[in-house]
Structure 1
Amino acid sequence: MKFKIALIAICSLFLVSCGSQKIRTTSSKKPTRKTTVATKNKVNKNEQEKLEATSFVVVSFENVEEYISWFKNTAISNMINYKIPASITLAQGILESGAGKGELCKKANNHFGIKCHVGWEGASVHHDDDESQECFRKYNHPAESYRDHSLFLTTRSRYKFLFDLRENDYKSWAQGLKDAGYATDPKYPAKLITIIERYKLYRFDNETLGISDNEAVVYETPKKEISGSEYAVVQGDTLYSISKKYSISVDDLKSKNNISDNAISIGQILKIK
């Protein structure tokens, strides 16, 4: 009888011990879950941006925000003096300089990928772009690069038509820069528009013009079909919807436009034939 009582007591202690261990194990999971959430939020905050113009760099969202804080006043000042949208100036600066992290920017303070061209008498550096070791302008300070960018656009006849556009019509300005030959990349307008809308750079145009964000007008491309063989992406478009509209497979659409994934941007020009 004593043996049975002792055995029952031992089993009771064993069960209590197991139960308490189970409770400790369950409670230990809570801090781990909180830590995971905190880490995830940190990753989102430092989401990376791929920028490719005169060089390819990968920067964080915070890198771009920091670049904007450095040069927004310069872009606004240039908008007042030269009538170039601050959003366009900043977007080009972000893209061409890799948000200040690109090789050309670091070694030449060249934030806009401006090449030497005929008549340039200032300092220069050589950098690979469309061709190997092309001549690019070199500046002593970023402010010189920003001013030269404004002069570059305002003193060349091929950019004259841009100044007939509204100063807050960043979409037409982005397309116009490509049409005027500022860049050879067919995705250049889409890249600028994506940067402007991602970082809300249009707010600086509205601020300069004295327009509230609620009053601002978003100017869409007048015709979605740029030509019989091209299409400008608008809000709500997907590769699938465009492929159905023009009776072309998604794979053919991606092949014609050198697209490796399914991502497209508002304003992007796609070949459809």
Structure 2
Amino acid sequence: MQLSIKNFVLMLALLQIAFFTQARKLIIVGIPAPPMRYLDTNKQPKGFDIDVLDHILNKLGHKYVVVLIDSSPRVEIMWKKGDMDILMTYSYKKERVKYLIYPKESHVTVAWNFFIRKEDEGKIRFENYSDLKKWRVGASSGKSYTKEFWEASKSYPFIQIIPRDNLQLNKLINKRVDIVPLETISALYKAHQKGISEKITYLKKPLKIKPYYNLFVKASTYPSLNKLVKKYDEELFKMKQDNTLKKLKHKYYFAE
């Protein structure tokens, strides 16, 4: 079962129902981030993360409810208090291990790449950050990218920093910048939605790349959660072996 909650009061009511019914449902929480997790036109949660969990949990016979919350601090409070059972798609950080169980299997690798116009393919290259000096570089304030990028950008003759990352593809297509770093999965999905996939490409060398996991909450009261983690790993491994995971990635226009 999949539900979406925008009103926090309704969300709390839903969580109470999930906690106190005899056959308690797993409570799965995530922050909206298309195409990983988002609300469709019917206000139902959809996306790659949810498809992966739906496939595994249906096989294992676990019912669940999905809650999307657009607030990182609120989500962190919830996992620390045990107000959820599964947290969707976070990277590894040592300080999180106190509260979260990392499975062995990662379901997705997230990369950041430099995007350029298709017409500039072969002309713009990235081997080191000094290669970008002769181009008009776009960037978004508040994005970590890498320390090396931000340090190198101080010497760029032209760098345009804006607060809204969702404007960067339009600026690239309209030739206001020549190159811009973007989270690759999200950028490719947005390009498809905008109908501009054929007009852009990205440089193969990433700025950074790391595995992401669906995490299990240590303070959860869900019965036999540790056993579920083991079964989750087994089923996710099978999805990798039989190409089920690959097919789901194609559904959301992931890069190979």
Do Structure 1 and Structure 2 share a fold, with TM-score over 0.5? no
Q: Which is greater in Rg?
A: 1
The answer to which structure, 1 or 2, has the higher relative contact order (CA under 8 A, 6+ apart) is 2
- TM-score normalised to structure 2 length: 0.24
More helix per residue: 1 or 2? Answer: 1
- TM-score normalised to structure 1 length: 0.23
